[in-house]
Structure 1
Amino acid sequence: MAFIICNMRKFKNADLKGQQIHNQREKESHTNPDIDRNRAHLNYDLLHDKRVDYKAMINEHIEKNVETKRAIRKDAVRCCSFMISASPEFFEKLSPESEREFFKSNLEFIQERYGKENVMYASVHKDETTPHMHVGLVPITKEKKLSAKQIFNKVEMKQLQEAIGKHNEKFGLQRGEPSDKKYLEIHKFKLEADKEELKAVSLKKIEMEQAVDQISSRLDDLKKTAFEAQAVDQIEVKEKGGLLTAKTVQMSKEDFAQVQSLAKAGEVFRKENKKLEKELADERSKTSELSKKNRILEARNKELELENRFLKRAINKFMDVFKEKKQEYMIIFGHLKARVLRQMNMKITDNHFENQNELKGAQHFLYEEKEREKTAPKKNRNQDHEMER
C-alpha cells in the first residue's frame, strides 16, 4: 500500500531567495545528486507560467494583507512550504495527466484549508527520484496577523495529517507513517552532513598536498640555481700585478656580469629558502591535522550508520506492535472523546467520531453511564444520553 507524504518547513525573509533558486532551478545544484538536469524541462508550477520573485511577491502580499501597528519582526516566518508527494510505487502506474491531477487536487486542499489568496506558488519537481510538489503559503491568520506559530500548532499539524490522509483516499493512498520516522531522517541528515564534511576535508587535504609538492618543487629549483652558481669557480681569470703593484684579476665582460648577477641573487635565494622551508613545515602540519580530523569523521560516520540501523529496527518493531493495538487504541480514544463531550455538556453525535472503532468506544461510554444512573436519584435521570445521528 502506498502512502501520502506531507511535511512542512518554515522560511524567514533571508531564506526566500534560496527557496526560489531551488524550486525554479535557477542555478545548477552541486549538493543534491538526485537532480537530473536532463529532466528539468519536465518541472512546472501550477500557479505560474514563468519564473517569479518569491521575496518580492511574498512581502508585497504581507504588506497588503497583514494588519498590525508594529513593524513585522525581521526573524518572522514569512512562508510555510509544504512538500507533498507519495510512495515511489504510486507514481509508477500514473500517466502524466493523472499525476498532474494528483498534485492539483492537493494544491486545492491546501488552498481551501488555509486560504487560496495566501498560497504563493506550487512548484512540481519531476527531475528528482520521486515526483513531489512544493506549495508556498504565507501564514496569515483570520485576524490578519502574520503568525506561523498560531496557525501551525501541534493540534493543527496532527489534524492536517489526518485530513490530507482522508483527502487522498480517493487516489488509493493511506496516511503517511507515524512521526517517529523523523528520528531516522535526523540521523540520515547527520550522516549526509558528515559525508559532505568528510568530502570537504579530503579535498582540502589534496589541496594541502599539492601545495607541499609546489613548495618542494620551488626548493628543487633553488637547489638547481645554487648548483649552477658553483659554475663561478670555473670562470677563467687571469692575475695581473705583483711585487710593486696590487694583484688584480682579469675576466671577460660576460663573466663579470654573471658574477654580479649571482652575487645579488645569493642573499635573495637564502631568504627565500628559509621562507619556503617554513611554509613547507606549516603545510605538513596542516595536512597532519586534516588527516586526524578525517579519521575522526570516518569513525563518527560508522557510529551514525550503526545507530541508524538500530533505530530502523526499533521503529519497525514499534510499527508491528502499533498495528496490532491500533483498533484497541481507537476504541479507547472514542470512549475518552465521549467522556470529554459529556463533561462539556455537549450532545454526543456521530460527527464527533472518525471511524467505527471510535463509535464503539463512545457507545460503550453511554452504556456505562446508563448503568451508573440506574442507581442514581431520579432527578438526575432526565438527561438525554442517546447518541444523535
Structure 2
Amino acid sequence: MDDNNNDKCIFRISKINEQRHLRAALAHNLRLENTPNINTELSHKNMHANGYSTIDECMRRYQSSIKGLKIRKNAVLAHEVLITGSPEHMKKLTKHEHIAYFNAAARWLIQLHGGELSNLLCFSVHYDESTVHAHILLIPKINNKLNSRGIIGGARGRLSELQTEFYERVAKRFGFTRGIKNSRAKHQHYSELKNLRSNLRTTANSLALAKVEHAKIIDELDNSKKVLTHVQNELKQIQRLEYTALKARIAQLEQNISRTYRPR
C-alpha cells in the first residue's frame, strides 16, 4: 500500500488453517520464540491485552469459542491481522495515539468477526521492530459457524474493499491516507519472510556442504594425480631396467657366441 507517500495506513489479513500454525503465530506475537531482526532492548515496551499473554490462555479461548462447532478439514481456523502505517507517519504519532489507533482497529475487527469478544484470540503491540505495529488474531466465527469466506470473501476485490473499510472506519481519523487501489506494491508477511530466511539458511548450509565436498574431491583428485604420476614413474623405471637388462643379456649372448665360434 506504499505509493511513495509517507502517511499510508497498512492493513493485512491472512488465513491460518492449522492449529500448529496458530500456535506458531502466537509464539511470535507473544515473543515466546527467538525472533530475528528485533531489538530485544525494546521488547519490554511491547504490550499484550490482559488475559492474552500466554499460548495456553489464547488456546483456551480458542477451544472455548469453537466448542460444539462442526469444523471442516480444510476450514480456516483463524485470521491474523497486521495493523501499522508508513514508518514516517507512525513516528509522528504519540504512544497514546498508537494505542488508540490499534484499539480502534481491534474494535472494528471484532465487529467484522461476528461481534463477539470471545472471537479475539490475541492482541499484541510491538515496539521492538523498525516500525511499531499490532498483531491481532481472531476466529472467523459468524452465526456460530466458521466462515472466513463471509469475512474475507472469495473474490480478490474483497481485500481491496476491506482496506477501504479499514481506512474509512479506523485509519482516516488518525491522519492516514489510503494507498492507491490495486497498487502493485507488495508486502511480505512475517511468516513468508521467516520461510524465505529459513530457505536461505538451508541453501547457505547446502552451499557450505557442497564447498566442503568440492574441496574433498579436489584433494582426492590431487592425490590421484600424485599416485598416477608415481605409478608412471615406476613404470618408466621398470621399463628402463628391463631394457638395460635386456641389452646386457644380448651383449652376453653375443660374447658367448663369438667365443664359441672363434676361428682356429
Equivalent residue of 1:9, what SS? strand
The match for 1:28 is: 34
Taking the aligned partners of 1:116 and 1:145, their CA distance within structure 2 comes to 13
Equivalent residue of 1:181, what SS? coil
The match for 2:101 is: 102
Q: How does 1:35-184 map to 2 (within 5 A)?
A: 35-48=38-51, 50-53=53-56, 54-63=58-67, 66=69, 68=70, 72-114=71-113, 115-117=115-117, 118-142=119-143, 144-153=144-153, 154=155, 156-167=158-169, 168-181=171-184
One-letter amino acid matched to 1:173 = F
Q: How many residues get paired?
A: 206
Q: Could you tell me whether the CA contact under 8 Å between 2:112 and 2:151 is conserved in 1?
A: no
Q: Deviations over 1:78-119 (max 9, x none)?
A: 110111100001121222222111111111121233223222
Q: Deviations over 1:290-335 (max 9, x none)?
A: xxxxxxxxxxxxxxxxxxxxxxxxxxxxxxxxxxxxxxxxxxxxxx
Q: Could you tell me whether the CA contact under 8 Å between 1:165 and 1:176 is conserved in 2?
A: no
Taking the aligned partners of 2:179 and 2:116, their CA distance within structure 1 comes to 25
Q: Does 1:18 align with 2:17?
A: no
Q: Which has the higher helix share?
A: 1
Taking the aligned partners of 1:150 and 1:108, their CA distance within structure 2 comes to 18
RMSD over aligned CA atoms reads 3.2
Equivalent residue of 1:90, what SS? helix
Seen in structure 2, the aligned counterparts of structure 1 residues 185 and 44 have a Cα distance that, compared at 3 Å, is closer
Q: Does 1:7 align with 2:20?
A: no
Taking the aligned partners of 1:6 and 1:55, their CA distance within structure 2 comes to 24
**How far apart are residue 179 of structure 1 and its match?**
4.1
Seen in structure 2, the aligned counterparts of structure 1 residues 170 and 150 have a Cα distance that, compared at 3 Å, is closer
Identity of aligned residues (%): 22
TM-score (norm 2): 0.66
Seen in structure 2, the aligned counterparts of structure 1 residues 183 and 87 have a Cα distance that, compared at 3 Å, is closer
Taking the aligned partners of 1:112 and 1:150, their CA distance within structure 2 comes to 13
Q: Could you tell me whether the CA contact under 8 Å between 2:52 and 2:121 is conserved in 1?
A: no
In structure 1, the gaps of 5 or more residues are: 213-279, 286-389
**How far apart are residue 152 of structure 1 and its match?**
1.3
Q: Could you tell me whether the CA contact under 8 Å between 1:46 and 1:104 is conserved in 2?
A: no
Higher mean Cα deviation, 145-154 or 131-140?
145-154
Greater relative contact order (CA < 8 Å, ≥ 6 in sequence):
2
Q: Could you tell me whether the CA contact under 8 Å between 1:44 and 1:125 is conserved in 2?
A: yes
**How far apart are residue 150 of structure 1 and its match?**
3.2
**How far apart are residue 124 of structure 1 and its match?**
0.9
